[in-house]
Amino acid sequence: MVLNLDPVVSLLVSLVLLVVSHVRNRQILNRKFKQLESKGAPFTDYTVQYFL
């Protein structure tokens, strides 16, 4: 998927993709944290593992 665009345009596209994937990952992590909380497990250790 090589596009012959200006460097600025390709940079913008990669930034948008980065933000989208970051938001998706945050949503997945929040879902996991809610599952752990509903089970009553302390999730601080999981938080440290995920963000290190």
pLDDT per residue over 1-52, tens digit each?
555 668 888 889 899 999 988 888 888 888 887 777 676 655 555 555 555 4
In the numeric block, which tokens belong to residue 24? 């998706």
- Two structure tokens written together for 9: 């345009």
CB contact set of 29 (below 8 Å; sequence gap of 6+)? 50
pTM of the model: 0.46
Q: What is the pLDDT of residue 49?
A: 57
The dihedral formed by the CA atoms of 47, 52, 27 and 15, expressed in degrees to the nearest 10: 160
- Given this model, what pLDDT does residue 16 score? 92
Domain boundaries defined on the chain:
7-51
Cα 27 from chain centre: 7
pLDDT at 52 (0 to 100): 46
Place of tokens 């948008």: 16
